[in-house]
Amino acid sequence: MRRHAVIFGRAAGLGALALLDIPLLVLTLLTAVTTTLGLIFFCFIPVNRLVRRRTMLARRLAGRWLGAETAPPYLPPPPPPRPQPDGWYRYERQLYKTPWWPAWNDRWKWMFADPATWRDLAWLWLNPLAGGSLLLLPLAAVWYGLTLPWTWAPQAAPLGLAVAAAGVAAVPWLLRLYGWWTHLCLAPTVRSILAGRLQRLDQVRQEAVDSQAAELRRIERDLHDGAQARLVAMGMTLGAVEELVDRDPAAAKALLAKARDASSVALTELRDLVRGIHPPVLAERGLGDAVRALALDSPLKVSVTVDLKIRPESPVESAVYFSVSELLTNAARHGGADRVWIDIGIRGGALRVTVTDDGSGGADPSRGSGLRGVERRLAAFDGVLALNSPPGGPTTATIDLPLARVPGAEREKPPLTKRQGVVVALGWGLGWLPLFPQGLVPMFLKIFGTGEKSWFLALHLPSPWQWPLIVLNITMGLALYGMAMAIPVAHSRRHLMSRAGALLETDR
């Protein structure tokens, strides 16, 4: 009883929300008319925000009550406008003193060009009809069946109870069908997922290009200030040796010793520079031994645990190596740690590295460039950095990097389950019976007032009971056909979305 009461409450709440969408629908219509005529152009963005809040509420309720989790389908928002070197903001061929106009234009184009915006509007226009027919009509049938003995005749109680029971039995199925319909209309499509991923990959690529440019500038600076300066000094020293070798051999010998020492220091600096670009131990021995070498060079007491059955790709190893090096540096310089524990392994098809220290905690990527650099480095490989650093410690940093999939390993579409196949077969096989001969045909005969009754069940009942049974038959037929169509579409859609994600990972 409690379960049915909860289901009835949810159906009534969703049906009431569907009817309350009518004022918002009228507002969107007025906004479309005024925007088309160019009268009130600025209403599009705030009205679209209201529509998105309404559809986000529908997605949350569908996921919470109906078990149909629906992710937001919107494209990523545009980045905030950046000023030029002269302080002005450019949008196409126009210059602005403040970022308000460029930001407004970018946001308007983002909302207008997003296909999810128009799918939200289509759902909003259809939701009063769908919510009213699928959720409120069965409730009305229950109410009509319970009140039929008092409104018509006491002897109609059995038929009223039958109508109420049919409405009670139909509510859970129709509620689930409404959830599937909401999911199909408001869930992200394969195209929107690919567009969002491509935009994110483009952003990651831009960050990788910026990081690479910064790394090249660092290498150039280190060469200019280090090895190059020492080589120039060595050339000047050797020139002085040439002048002193005949008249002062002792001074020339002393200068040669200084030149030898300078060449040794320059060689050490070059080796450090090469090690900073790509350590030889990482290329020769792999990630585990390279991190162990880092642990030996660290002033902290570092414990390293490695469980790698396969060796990751060289770029992935390099990203993890320098990320661990940055985390060790932060633990020693900012965390005040004494011990560090590093665990490297493969968990669920991804390379996972956990770095834990016993420092003072309080690490925050927004307050320093080191952790932000680690995040940017990992983002180039679709990796993430999860940081847990409460004040007082300890600090735990977890790095997750997905491993590459084997190219050409396409997953076949899995078949429907036995239960889904039975529901689809019943929907296609029995949906026509309540919809056409017992629903639509009696409805037309009732509207045009013909006296033909034939084998139409509803027309043999007393007049007050005919319309409820006709509406119930039409609703039942639509529900059967809807389930028969929605189950394969949802199944194919889940397969396409998973395949799209696999293709993106393979292309990377």
Q: What is the pLDDT of residues 233-289, one digit of tens each?
A: 788 888 887 877 777 888 888 888 888 887 877 777 777 666 666 677 777 888 888
**DSSP H or E stretch at residue 360:** none
**Integer Rg of the chain from CA:** 35
Residue 371 has pLDDT above 70, yes or no: yes
pLDDT single digits (tens) 466-492: 777 888 888 888 888 888 888 887 777
What DSSP letter does each residue of 164-177 carry, written as one string? HHHHHHHHHHHHHH
Q: How confident is the model at residue 148 (pLDDT cuts 50, 70, 90)?
A: low
Mean pLDDT of 448-456: 71
Instruction: Report the percentage of the chain scoring pLDDT > 70.
Output: 82
Phi, psi of 400 (to 5 degrees): -120, 120
pLDDT of residue 409: 35
CA atoms 380, 383, 389, 394: torsion sign: negative
pLDDT of residue 507: 41
Closest to 415 measured CA to CA, from 424, 426, 404: 424
Spatial distance between the Cα atoms of 164 and 174, rounded to a whole number of angstroms = 15
What DSSP letter does each residue of 410-470 carry, written as one string? PPPPPPPPHHHHHHHHHHHHHTHHHHIIIIIHHHHHHHHT----TT-GGGGS-HHHHHHHH
What DSSP letter does each residue of 119-168 carry, written as one string? HHHHHHHHHHHHHIIIIIHHHHHHHHHHHHHHHT-GGGHHHHHHHHHHHH
Residue 125 has pLDDT above 50, yes or no: yes
pLDDT single digits (tens) 382-432: 788 888 888 887 888 888 887 754 333 344 456 778 888 888 888 888 888
pLDDT of residue 35: 74
Provide the β-strand partners of residue 342: 304, 355
**What's the mean per-residue pLDDT of the chain?**
78
The answer to whether the CB of 106 falls within 8 A of the CB of 81 is yes
Report whether the peptide linkage leading into residue 394 is cis, meaning its omega lies within 30 degrees of zero. Answer: yes
Closest to 55 measured CA to CA, from 134, 118, 132: 118
pLDDT of residue 137: 75
Query: Tokens 């036995």 map to which residue?
Result: 418
Closest to 277 measured CA to CA, from 230, 332, 222: 222
